[in-house]
Amino acid sequence: MPRTDTSSPLPRVVIAGGSGSLGRLLAHRLAERGHNVRIITRRRDPDLPFEQVVWDGRTVGDWAQVLHSEDEAGVALVNLAGKLVDVRPTAANIAALRSSRVDSTRALVAASQRLERPLVSWLQASSTAIWSDAREQRVTETTPLPEPGLPQMTGVARPWEEATDGANSEHLVLLRTSIVLDREAPALQILARLTRAGLGGRVGSGYQWFSWVHHEDWLRIAIAALGLDPQVRIPDGPLVAAAPGPVRNADLMAALRRHLHRPAAPPTPAALLHLGAIALRSDPALALTGRHCTSTVLRDAGFDFIYPDLDAALTQIYG
């Protein structure tokens, strides 16, 4: 079970893939809370004010020493490592997405198995895209995964989660994150750029669901999942990181136009999106599929969202 005794010494938190946008946010928040934060990365970033150790994302090496602890607080691990998903869904690209996640997770599992004492907690990144295109289904943590699902979604996220098998940790949460709303998050940057360019109309039918979470709530969910919030107790297993108010694509784009002060825009037909995605080396399924995802685990744990609705979230981000 997660550690929730705030009178105890704070565990060191190691973040694999901590140089990405979410990793940076989480590292700074944990440091503000008094944790010793260390980053495992493929390339050191001189702008990050944390100790960084370099790995290849595939094999156990000297970097694994960062998981060892001789004090009573122990070590908690966050695994965010993996390539960005916005690429053409070719067989080669999908294989690269999958291996960047599976190989790095297996390396962390192997390193954990060499520890004399287990990690106190393990927060494993995943995605609500594991359910591929759920259409009108209402998705929660207990919703079965599709068989087989889209290869670039279910085909990547399922083995990513399965790669944690054998992890030497007292507590392990599979954090299935929806689209995170933050100025620096790649997904919102793309949507905002299109909207500012006059391309902020609905995509395809506009009826596909868009599940999202504000970055502040994502940070609070991640901290609770690590067992570091004494008020919110999260059990082992899957956890959906999504606000309780999913919206349709058409409503999302209308909200972005309002907050970015742009007029109505023509829709983007699915056929045009497919053509544009070829030029942009992107995956049209990212915009044309959708999922209505909410969390019964967070509800049952008594977690309160600061930003439960989209307008409030976008107001905080864009002012």
Q: Residues 128-149: what's their mean pLDDT? A: 98
Above pLDDT 70, what percent of the chain?
A: 97
Question: Confidence band (pLDDT; 50, 70, 90) for 7?
Answer: low
Residue 194 lies in a domain: no
Asked whether residue 85 is assigned to any structural domain, the reply reads yes
Quote the domain boundaries for residue 298.
Answer: 12-180+214-242+293-305
Please state the domain count of the chain.
1
Q: Residues 83-133: pLDDT tens digits?
A: 989 899 999 999 999 999 999 999 999 999 999 999 999 999 999 999 999
Instruction: Confirm whether 266 is domain-assigned.
Output: no
| Per-residue model confidence as pLDDT tens digits over 162-192 | 999 999 999 999 999 999 999 988 889 888 9
Per-residue pLDDT band for 280 (boundaries 50, 70, 90) equals confident
Residue 221 binned pLDDT confidence (cut-offs 50, 70, 90): very high
Q: Is residue 104 part of a domain?
A: yes
pLDDT at 5: 47
What is the pLDDT confidence band of residue 261, given thresholds at 50, 70 and 90? very high
Average pLDDT, the chain: 94
pTM of the model: 0.95
Task: State mean pLDDT over 285-311.
Answer: 97
The CA–CA distances, whole Å, from 68 to 14, 76, 260 equal 10, 10, 47
The region of weakest confidence among 82-86, 255-259, 310-314 is 82-86
Q: Is it the case that residue 1 has pLDDT exceeding 50?
A: no
Kindly state whether residue 145 falls inside one of the protein's structural domains: yes
Please report, for the domain that includes residue 62, its CATH number: 3.40.50.720
The burial of 180, by beta-carbon neighbours within 10 Å (0-12 exposed, 13-18 middle, 19 or more buried), is given as buried
Q: Are 246 and 212 in contact (CB under 8 A)?
A: yes
Percentage with pLDDT > 90 across the chain? 85
Assigned domain for 254 exists: no
Residue 4 lies in a domain: no
Q: Is residue 79 part of a domain?
A: yes
- Quick one: pLDDT at residue 199? 86
pLDDT > 60? residue 4: no
